[in-house]
Structure 1
């Protein structure tokens, strides 16, 4: 390892997965995946395993049925090996073996077995007791403290830290268990640059990593040509020189890290430090990985429980707000009534509502002019979405003037009412304790430019212009509040429209009542007039003395009765646009029976199918029926009573009106006034009329559409 290899500016681009070397405490064999012949290796293989390793059969070399192991691995759906219980014998020592397989190569890691591994029962019993202790932890902080003790007990390292990644990718030591003689890093922050991005990706892929000695000479892969071999899954993979210098600068001789992966993401790490060289056997690493998985599950459970409690608190306040919102109506009146509740709900220092240029405030808020300018900026963003920030001045520089009052902002535009709700959080000046100055990685010494930062002494940074962060639960509550305001606005708008509709309906009912009174009066007058004309015709018929004149007056009276009947139905039915044609014709026939006399009435037979027909067309059908019955009574039986059938049928969208008798049949071709009138009415209905021999008698059929 040489200092000239260090390039701090390229840390995030360093190909740490292809170092071309391993740590020298172990051995690595690389075999061809097809032939299982060893094609490359690293470490002191000749001295510690066998001089004749290159080209040897892998199974013979390690004394294992490699084909069976690969088949077993493939059957489990994994191409990455795990520690095998059987040890591999070297020339003077034994090795733990870990097998890895890819499409091209099979890689075998061999690490010295310095101590006998614990029995499975012992390991499982200890893991179970630790899982129980994790479950009993009251909160996340207590869980991390319990984990630090458990992992130090398992690994035996001098210092064990539970390290959590923050939103800005920096890290914070949540808990620590250490030798009292060592300096504490508890609550210290480490910059994101301490763990490059590609290293974080490997921490998700490989959950454990051990460096027994920070100062070593890498064992190069040989023969040449294997420098670019991917060693991502190899625990013996050589470490970046930058990281080794980092450890040296911290005074750490050996380290180990166990990943805490929650929901597939790197939540944090268990960082282990030893002041003297120390190995971490594969079986201990496997136990540590299992324990870390148990820890991750408990972290999820504790975070979900904390989020659930927060949601319950928010919902309880929401219930109060919703109750008042239902009675207050507009957003402005609601904010006036529940402003204090809204402010306390989201744990803010101030709350304001801006609508139509007016500012309504509760608690500590910027001046009205500053609030109006802020709202103008929010609206200029054009998204209409919620704005949530704990460092307002970084997004909106003018807020620097009032950062002590409003460093945090949660703004919620209400599109429906043209209003904006704003929650403010005051500046919270915090002191972050870093492990070394994160803004000054090196000194000005050219030699030091080639090294990572050299100091990890506590360095305190004062952070201004920031408030307490808005939690996801609080932002989620903001979205629910906006929906509630929208629903309240829609409900109030609906109630207003309903009130307007009720007022309009009431006015309409008055007009309809007035119209009904007027129409009844008109109907009464028309009926009186028709009755007077009918009575006059009856008197004229009696006084005429001429049979022909009397007959003509009787016909006129019958036609007048048809018109009067329709008029009465128009003002009697609720539905005046249409009538049941069968009922109408039945009543019309009843009137005609009274006009023609009881003898004729006894001879009439009705067969009427119910048909709904527009009123104006029904009037015309009634006139046609009246004319046909009058003709039958005059000509069918020589003026004497006889059988008459009146039938009404419906065929799809048409009606058929049938008037049939058993009399003398058609007696002539003369067309009188009544026939001409009837033909004109049939024409108005777009219908047709036909006569058939009824054997005996005459059958007249009028066909017409039900509607125009």
Structure 2
């Protein structure tokens, strides 16, 4: 019988909504009892005295077991329990009272040692047979093309090995539900292939135990649990997580009974430390699995798990390689001369095929270029606005868009799932791959929504496992991790291409701007040098005029004044020539300039001064206008020394230029015997005082006996070149002509 139900009226329903049930709260790892087909001994880990146990120990092992030493009961030396190199006792075989032989499993737990005793089957598989079966099984798994084939092959192999009526390969899905992906059976049970089971059927703590204990056997679900005794031993709540004989939850036993199962075994499939699924074995009659068969199952499950991982990794690798090659093909054919948006629109088909989808759109501002099945333009613009506000890292994926973006619930037939890349360009862009809904009919082994707890609060398992169908709407195919990673790589590539393009455009603009500026600079340089030539001619004309006037002057005072003016004009002319001869207009090496100025002054004052002049000039770059002022002051000081110290004749003269941490010091000293005039009121003195004051400096005089020393001190901030003075481009951009 098939029960049908449709979820068409429930667009918000999702298989990801795993059911959290009261079963999750059941302490199944502390049942205080074992299955009675074996025995359990609990001993003190320090004294090795047996303090408790479970099962028919008196009738099957030793009547007086309680309080006796554990080594004596097991007939092994005490040293075996303290041998750190060989702590396991799995090689032991302990004889019983009824002709039984027990295998031994040891578990160390806090202050207790737990010993499991399980009767050994008389007919064991030969070791050679086990190895042969493992080898043949591994070869079959190796030839399987995919995980589905491995699961089908695994079900057949485990049914043949265990002899159970039905063997299911049960896989855990991402939402905690389970699905049967492999099956091998006889006529004792109906098929459950492709059926789904709700997450509540195997609660979280049960999955944790399956990960811890890789194989679990229930030989007969009708057993009566053997409690741990005696009660006064204080062993209630003992953790039996590692004990294979651990009693099973009554709810699970009833669950198995409702399925018509009398005996079961579960073997864990663990891939990379995660519980991938289970091999579930069901039998209609009681059935045990011997120790050697369990060992073979455990080994084959490990082989199968590795093959499952290999097949999944192969699929992942192939998908990743396909996506990488497809993405590189698209992006490598972009035309660097065209904008990114234009390239994206030119490769719409290639981009759409990058991820399997029903529609693809490129949204840029108000422009939409789309192909395939998609929502209308208005809804796409609204979706784009929502994506820009909420996506994390520029990538958004959804296989149930109506849940994440409620307006999309109205058009699942046009878009039920999307993969979107938002690009933070100057004009924001978005790439959207869209998938329409896939109407799924899920076959459940019973109603997954039926509660497991009645009004009285008592847990009860499901009673029906008839096929129950449910139609799921509003879902699209899931986007794989490889597709999400490829989307992130594509986004990085597109952003890098966009930035490269922006830099290329900026470089082109800068190159054009620089070329235009170079042309302007060449024009300005020509004009400036032309103006300089004319200024130099004008200064020479004035100097020549002053020289003629000095020769024809009627008195000595007028001659002296005209000569001093001639010297001052020579200083200005020298700075002007230096200004337009140096590499950097507007910046002058003061030490070099003062040296050339003194050479010119000595030539003007008389050749004898060349022999008397001593220079100690520190090189320092200063602005040209400051150099002119300092040159005028130096000229005036030298003229005063010639005039007052040596009465117009040549004499020893020292000129020094030095720099301290924050000051510039100019020193002019002579050794003349004439009386110096320190407080003159003439034009030269007033000019020097005004210039020094404009530079925020000081001018002091010191009598040397004989001679006089003049010291001008200037703060460096007032003379150093500014950024506008430091380069030709900056200077000329602010000064179209040297002298308007």
Q: Give the TM interval when normalised to the shorter protein.
A: 0.7 to 0.9
**Alpha carbons of structure 1 residues 255 and 402: separation in structure 2 relative to 1, 3 Å:** same
Alignment of 1:123-522 (within 5 A): 127=134, 130-131=137-138, 134-135=141-142, 137-152=144-159, 154-179=161-186, 183-224=190-231, 226-325=235-334, 327=336, 330=339, 332-375=341-384, 378=387, 386-396=395-405, 398-416=407-425, 417-436=427-446, 438=448, 451-456=461-466, 461-502=470-511, 504-506=513-515, 508-509=517-518, 511-522=520-531
SS of residue paired to 2:247: coil
Deviation string for 1:34-90 (max 9, x for gaps)?
A: 433222221111110111122222222222346643552xx79xxxx8561111221
Note if 1:704 corresponds to 2:711: no
The size of the alignment, in residue pairs, is 690
- Is residue 689 of structure 1 aligned with residue 685 of structure 2? no
Aligned residue number for residue 4 of structure 1: none
1:201 positional shift: 1.4
Structure 2 residue 635 is matched with structure 1 residue 623: no
SS in 1 for 2:608: helix
Q: Distance in 2 between matches of 1:240 and 1:118?
A: 31
Change (3 A) 1:173 1:295: same
Query: Is the 1:326–1:488 contact (alpha carbons within 8 Å) kept by the matching residues of 2?
Result: no
Cα distance between partner residues in 2 of 1:667 and 1:464: 110
Give, in whole Å, the separation in 1 of the partners of 2:679 and 2:374: 102
Which piece of structure 1 moves more, 528-537 or 384-393? Answer: 384-393
Encode CA deviations 1:585-644: one digit per residue, 9 max, x unaligned: 122122223322433334434332212223332222211221222233334444333443
Deviates more, 1:493-502 or 1:83-92: 493-502
Contact 1:353-1:359 at 8 Å conserved across structures? yes
> 2-side partners of 1:250 and 1:332: how far apart?
60
Bigger Cα displacement from structure 2, 125-134 vs 468-477: 125-134
Of stretches 90-99 and 495-504 in structure 1, the one that deviates more from structure 2 is: 495-504
Aligned partners of 2:394 and 2:421 also within 8 Å: yes
Structure 1 residue 561: Cα displacement: 0.7
User: Which moves more between the two structures, 108-117 or 49-58?
Assistant: 108-117
Q: Residues of 1 paired with 2:559 and 2:82: CA distance?
A: 121
CA contact (8 A) 2:359 2:433 kept: yes
1:569 aligns with 2:578: yes
1:331-386 Cα offsets, whole Å, 9 max, x none, are 54243212222211011111113333443211222332343444455457576753
User: 88-97 or 400-409, which moves further after superposition?
Assistant: 400-409
- CA separation in 1, counterparts of 2:708 and 2:412? 105
| Secondary structure of 2:92's aligned partner | strand
Q: CA deviation at 1:462?
A: 4.3
Distance, in Å, in 1 between the alignment partners of 2:72 and 2:679 is 128
Q: Could you tell me which residue of structure 1 aligns to residue 92 of structure 2?
A: 86
Secondary structure at the aligned position of 1:271 is classed as: strand
RMSD: 3.5
Distance 2:623 2:410 in 1: 78
Contact 2:412/2:436 (CA < 8 Å) preserved in 1?
yes
Q: 1:48 aligns with which of 46, 54, 60?
A: 60
Question: Which region of structure 1 is more displaced relative to structure 2, 123-132 or 413-422?
Answer: 123-132
Structure 2 matches for 1:656-695, cutoff 5 A? Answer: 656-661=665-670, 663-664=672-673, 666=675, 671=680, 673=682, 674-685=684-695, 686-693=697-704
Q: What are the within-5 Å matches in structure 2 for residues 582-593 of structure 1?
A: 582-593=591-602
Secondary structure of 1:85's aligned partner? coil
CA distance in 2: counterparts of 1:138 and 1:493, whole angstroms: 48
| Separation of aligned partners in 2, 1:400 and 1:342 | 26
TM-score, scaled relative to structure 2 = 0.83
**Structure 1 residues not aligned, in runs of 5+:** 1-7
- Judged with a 3 Å threshold, the aligned counterparts in structure 2 of structure 1 residues 618 and 63 are, in CA distance, closer, same or farther, namely same
Q: CA deviation at 1:182?
A: 6.0
Structure ranking higher on relative contact order (CA contacts 8 Å, 6+ apart)? 2
TM-score under structure 1 length normalisation: 0.87
- CA displacement at 1:645 relative to structure 2: 3.5
Q: Which runs of 5+ in 2 are unaligned?
A: 1-19, 719-740
TM-superposed deviation, 1:311: 1.5
Task: State how far apart, in whole Å, the 2-side matches of 1:119 and 1:528 are.
Answer: 119
Distance 1:378 1:656 in 2: 68
Residue aligning to 2:721: none
Q: Which moved more, 1:649-658 or 1:493-502?
A: 493-502
